[in-house]
């Protein structure tokens, strides 16, 4: 780095205009990542401005972290170096929306709720029921790779992002994919951008496939004493003819988790495990779903079965919203909470459910029926010892990563201090060497979110 703080700010002001460049410490504090502040903030208004900023940064060896609404900057490791926060929220337009073609092109800074209202007019939606949905941007949601309970039938961004535009670390604007729902032209580079935390490129445009909004939905909850019955019901649903749009198992124990249960509209008391399933379709279909599901719920593990409840109808774009928002609620409630994402197979869920019950601190799980578990650990109280205990348990769980039934564990959110002790990504996988080589192709000077991703990428 040969340019000082004032040099960075003045160059940013030249590129994006004075009003869109910030270096006032009070304003910059809002862009902290794990306690680390940038030197300057730039709010580009176009892909061309992004190109200019990245070229300047590459020349001067300045690190850039692209940001949206800054709701998920806690995911990943802190940046090794952090000079420029690239605030993408000025690029918030819908570039094209063709309801008849089920396609939508947006700039990355557009809030998801703005997309939702534009699509709702045509009775369509994006199946992204993700945390912080009232603020989160499309770009941040894609770059952080968060998933939605609706993946049960709609898949993840990997399945419905049709193409992207982005600026690589050498300041080159490029694209891959396209704007049509079916396309195999060229390499699917955009798939790698999903969940890459901005380490491969700054996303400047995203093309989505949109989906028709179901006519009606219904959410049903079955409650069991203990985890076995709940996991058995998940298995039974998977083998049945039912095609629910969400299947989630929730449970928690200890501390103040009961309050979080109320936020998710379930009870966590007395070893209760809830299976929350939502269905979509017209009323006649929902009646059949409800009937079949009730038979399945009552048919599994009679001794453990407790109750059936039905929630009020909610539009599909909000299905299981109260569950999807749990990470946000947890972090607001307990900033020291640690939230893991565990990738495993559906049949591993029963083993994971047994495993979490021996955790030595208060815990909460949300298990998606397809095998993804969000495990939250909470400090038992406010003492220093309690934080140490939490850290021990986090280390223990990361050490279980890759060992049956735990699957691959990543610590998504935790207090920043923990990250000096723990690598939240766990050990890199066997194809890591290819990821490293790809990183150097996309970002030869290593200026894009350096150190934030797996294995120091």
Partner 1 sequence: MDSRLLHDLMKLLGPHGVLHQPEDLLLYEYDGSVEVARPDCVVFPLATADVVGIVRLASHHNVPLIGRGTGTGLSGGAIARHGGIIVSFARMKRIMAIDAENQRATVQPGVVNADLSLAVERLGLHFAPDPSSQKACTIGGNVSENSGGPHTLAYGVTTNHVVSLEIVLPSGDLIRLGSAALDPPGYDLTGLLVGSEGTFALVTEIIVKLTRNPEAVKTLLAVFDSVDDATETVAEITARGITPAACEMLDGWTIRAVEDYVHAGFPLDCAAILLIEVDGLREVAEAEAKDVAEVCGLHHAREVRVARDARERDLLWKGRKNAFGAAGRLAPSYYTQDGVIPRTKLPATLRRISEISKKYSLQIGNVFHAGDGNLHPIILFDQRNEQQFRDTIRAGDEIIEFCIQMGGSITGEHGVGMEKDRLMPLLFSEADLALMRRVRDVFNPDGLLNPGKILPTSKGCGEIYVRPWPAAVAPSP
Whole-number minimum distance, CB 55 to partner 1, in Å?
13
49, 87, 107, 289: which one contacts partner 1 (CB under 8 A)?
289
270, 358, 384, 430: which one contacts partner 1 (CB under 8 A)?
430
Q: Is 270 in the site for partner 1 (CB under 8 A)?
A: no
Contacts for 279 with CB less than 8 Å, ≥ 6 apart: 217, 218, 219, 220, 242, 244, 245, 285, 286, 289, 290, 293
180, 228, 311, 359: which one contacts partner 1 (CB under 8 A)?
180
Q: Residue 158, class by beta-carbon neighbours within 10 Å (0-12 exposed, 13-18 middle, 19+ buried)? A: middle
Please give the residues from 36 up to 95 whose contact with partner 1 meets the rule CB under 8 A: none
- Kindly give the interhelix angle for 47-60 and 5-16, rounded to the nearest 10 degrees: 160
List, as one string, the DSSP characters of 300-318: S-TTTEEEEEEEPP--GGG
Written as six digits, the tokens of 81 are 């170096």
**Helices assigned H by DSSP within 240-361:** 257-263, 283-299, 321-324, 326-333, 349-356
Q: Which of 114, 127, 168, 79 is nearest to 419 (CA)?
A: 79
Do residues 87 and 198 touch, judged by C-beta distance below 8 A? no
Written as six digits, the tokens of 439 are 């990183």
Whole-number minimum distance, CB 409 to partner 1, in Å?
9
7, 315, 371, 416: which one contacts partner 1 (CB under 8 A)?
371
Q: Residue 13, class by beta-carbon neighbours within 10 Å (0-12 exposed, 13-18 middle, 19+ buried)? A: middle
Q: Is 14 in the site for partner 1 (CB under 8 A)?
A: no
- Comparing CB distances to partner 1, the nearer of 59 and 215 is 215
2, 26, 100, 270: which one contacts partner 1 (CB under 8 A)?
100
Q: Is 428 in the site for partner 1 (CB under 8 A)?
A: yes
Q: Is 97 in the site for partner 1 (CB under 8 A)?
A: no
Contacts for 390 with CB less than 8 Å, ≥ 6 apart: 336, 338, 361, 377, 378, 379
Please give the residues from 380 up to 419 whose contact with partner 1 meets the rule CB under 8 A: 407-408, 410
Please give the residues from 121 up to 160 whose contact with partner 1 meets the rule CB under 8 A: 123-124, 145, 147, 155-156, 158-159
Whole-number minimum distance, CB 453 to partner 1, in Å?
8
Q: Is 114 in the site for partner 1 (CB under 8 A)?
A: no
- Comparing CB distances to partner 1, the nearer of 295 and 434 is 434
Please give the residues from 313 up to 352 whose contact with partner 1 meets the rule CB under 8 A: 341, 343-348
- Comparing CB distances to partner 1, the nearer of 8 and 75 is 75
Binding mask 238-257 for partner 1 (x = CB under 8 A): xx-xxx--------------
Using DSSP's 3-state secondary structure scheme, residue 431 falls into coil
Q: Is 303 in the site for partner 1 (CB under 8 A)?
A: no
Q: Is 271 in the site for partner 1 (CB under 8 A)?
A: no
Contacts for 181 with CB less than 8 Å, ≥ 6 apart: 101, 102, 103, 162, 209
Please give the residues from 15 up to 34 whose contact with partner 1 meets the rule CB under 8 A: none
Q: Is 372 in the site for partner 1 (CB under 8 A)?
A: yes
Binding mask 198-237 for partner 1 (x = CB under 8 A): --x----------xxxxx-------------------x--
- Comparing CB distances to partner 1, the nearer of 31 and 97 is 97
């Amino acid at each position: 780095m040969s340019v000082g703080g004032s040099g960075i700010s003045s160059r940013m002001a030249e590129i994006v205009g004075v009003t869109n460049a910030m270096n006032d410490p009070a304003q910059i504090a809002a862009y902290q990542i794990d306690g680390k502040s940038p030197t300057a903030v730039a709010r580009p208004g176009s892909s061309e401005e992004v190109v200019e900023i990245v070229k300047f940064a590459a020349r001067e060896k300045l690190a850039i972290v692209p940001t949206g609404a800054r709701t998920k900057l806690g995911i990943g490791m802190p940046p090794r170096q952090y000079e420029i926060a690239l605030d993408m929220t000025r690029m918030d337009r819908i570039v094209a929306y063709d309801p008849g073609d089920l396609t939508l092109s947006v700039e990355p800074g557009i809030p998801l709720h703005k997309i939702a209202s534009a699509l709702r007019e045509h009775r369509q939606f994006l199946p992204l029921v993700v945390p912080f949905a009232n603020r989160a941007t499309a770009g941040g949601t894609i770059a952080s790779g968060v998933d939605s309970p609706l993946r049960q039938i709609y898949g993840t961004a990997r399945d419905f992002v049709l193409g992207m535009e982005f600026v690589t670390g050498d300041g080159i604007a490029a694209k891959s994919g396209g704007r049509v729902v079916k396309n195999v032209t060229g390499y699917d580079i955009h798939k790698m951008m999903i969940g890459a935390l901005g380490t491969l490129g700054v996303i400047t445009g995203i093309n989505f496939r949109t989906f028709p909004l179901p006519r009606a939905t219904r959410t049903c909850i079955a409650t069991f004493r203990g985890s076995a019955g709940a996991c058995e019901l998940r298995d039974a649903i998977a083998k049945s003819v039912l095609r629910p749009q969400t299947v989630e198992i929730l449970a928690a124990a200890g501390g103040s988790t009961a309050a979080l249960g109320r936020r998710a509209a379930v009870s966590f008391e007395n070893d209760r495990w809830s299976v929350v399933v939502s269905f979509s379709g017209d009323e006649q279909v929902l009646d059949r779903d409800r009937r079949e599901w009730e038979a399945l719920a009552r048919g599994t593990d009679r001794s453990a079965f407790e109750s059936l409840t039905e929630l009020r109808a909610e539009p599909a774009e909000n299905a299981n919203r109260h569950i999807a928002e749990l990470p946000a609620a947890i972090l607001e409630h307990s900033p020291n909470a640690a939230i893991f994402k565990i990738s495993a197979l559906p049949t591993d869920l029963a083993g994971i459910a047994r495993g979490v019950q021996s955790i030595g601190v208060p815990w909460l799980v949300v298990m998606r029926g397809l095998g993804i578990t969000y495990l939250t650990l909470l400090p038992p109280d406010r003492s220093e010892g309690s934080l140490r205990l939490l850290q021990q348990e986090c280390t223990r769980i990361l050490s279980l990563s890759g060992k049956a039934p735990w699957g691959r564990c990543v610590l998504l959110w935790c207090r920043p201090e923990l990250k000096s002790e723990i690598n939240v990504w766990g050990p890199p996988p066997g194809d890591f060497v290819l990821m490293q080589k790809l990183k150097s192709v996309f970002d030869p000077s290593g200026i894009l979110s350096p150190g934030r991703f797996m294995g120091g990428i």
